Amino acid sequence: MSNPRDSLYDLRMFLTTDYACSYLPGRLARNLVADPAVTDNPLYTQLAALGFRRSGEHVYRPHCRGCMACRSLRVPVARFRPNRAQRRVWMRNQDLQPIMLEAEFQDEHFALFARYIQVRHAGGGMDPASPGNYWSFVASRWCPTWLCEFRADGRLLAVAVVDRLDDGLSAVYTFFDPQEEARGLGTFAILWQITKARQLGLDWVYLGYWVEPCAKMTYKARFNPHEIFVAERWSWMLREG
């Protein structure tokens, strides 16, 4: 494992080919990807502070032609205050038992993921889900990742995929039982991660990319206050709701 870098100037980056954007219909996207041969968790932490994100073995940042709609968003755990709706979600789910597991493939997790994708993201890049594409998206060989289960009376309702960085937690993905949508399990999983980060003495929860024109992303900006990575720096934001 390499040491944290004093400079990232010598880090090789690769640019993907264009592909159909999954957030904005009719647009093409491409990513800047850190050299996977040298990627490890200290480097991942450094790159997360520059707006990068993990997917499987790769740490990437959007680098699209003529578009900067994808903006990395993170929540400062010490300053975060839930709004009224988030407090209701938190109370509504106090019957759930959280169980933190090291990242290992489980058939029960995959079955829940497949149902979630089929109902919530039909026709998307992960539909139909397969064990291979699920696991290649969730896990990596070098990143400490938790699969946080949320169960009610033993029944699995949700799984949050959470990366442990040196200075925070990264909310990689959450999938849940589509029949339990009224619980607000996606919001609850983020609230739980903010609470866990605070308990661990970490500074941030990284929520990935916020795309303002994309309705599916609006929930991220409701976690206040938060920072958005714009023009190579983090800027404080406080939004209503």
What are 114's two structure tokens? Answer: 């497949």
Residue 3 belongs to a domain:
no
Residue 8 belongs to a domain:
no
Q: Is the domain of 196 the same as that of 98? A: yes
Give residue 86's pLDDT. 98
Residue where a domain stops, chosen among 24, 50, 70: 70
Q: Give the closest residue to 208 by CA, choosing from 36, 26, 23.
A: 23
Give residue 70's pLDDT. 96
> Residue 239: pLDDT band by 50, 70, 90 thresholds?
low
d(CA 123, CA 222): 27
CATH number, domain of 178, equals 3.40.630.30
Residue where a domain stops, chosen among 70, 87, 104: 70
Q: Is the domain of 45 the same as that of 146? A: no
Helix (H, G, I), strand (E, B) or coil at 239: coil
pTM of the model: 0.93
Residue 205 belongs to a domain:
yes
Per the structure, the count of domains in the chain is 2
* Cβ contact 42:1 at 8 Å: yes
Contacts of residue 26, defined as CB under 8 A and 6 or more positions apart, other chains included, come to: none
d(CA 46, CA 2): 13
> Residue 237: pLDDT band by 50, 70, 90 thresholds?
confident
Q: Is the domain of 25 the same as that of 91? A: no
Q: Is the domain of 43 the same as that of 158? A: no
Q: Is the domain of 25 the same as that of 92? A: no
Residue 147 belongs to a domain:
yes
* Cβ contact 124:22 at 8 Å: yes
> Residue 1: pLDDT band by 50, 70, 90 thresholds?
very low
Q: Is the domain of 188 the same as that of 86? A: yes
Give me the torsion for CA of 230, 236, 240, 241, rounded to 10°: 90
Residue 98 belongs to a domain:
yes
* Cβ contact 161:150 at 8 Å: no
The residue range of the domain holding 64 is 13-70
Q: Is the domain of 108 the same as that of 129? A: yes
Q: Is the domain of 126 the same as that of 229? A: yes
Q: Is the domain of 186 the same as that of 232? A: yes
Helix (H, G, I), strand (E, B) or coil at 11: coil
Tally of CA atoms within 13 A in the half-sphere of 241 that contains its CB: 5
pLDDT, one tens digit per residue, over 79-104 is 999 999 999 999 999 999 999 999 99
216 vs 161, which has greater pLDDT? 161
Helix (H, G, I), strand (E, B) or coil at 153: coil
Q: Is the domain of 56 the same as that of 90? A: no
Helix (H, G, I), strand (E, B) or coil at 68: coil
Contacts of residue 46, defined as CB under 8 A and 6 or more positions apart, other chains included, come to: 4, 5, 8
- Residue 6 pLDDT greater than 60, yes or no: no
d(CA 64, CA 123): 23
Q: Is the domain of 101 the same as that of 166? A: yes
Q: Is the domain of 104 the same as that of 193? A: yes
Give residue 125's pLDDT. 72
Share of the chain above pLDDT 90, in %: 88
d(CA 198, CA 231): 28
Residue 165 belongs to a domain:
yes
Helix (H, G, I), strand (E, B) or coil at 208: strand
Residue 158 belongs to a domain:
yes
Residue 4 belongs to a domain:
no
pLDDT, one tens digit per residue, over 198-215 is 999 999 999 999 999 999
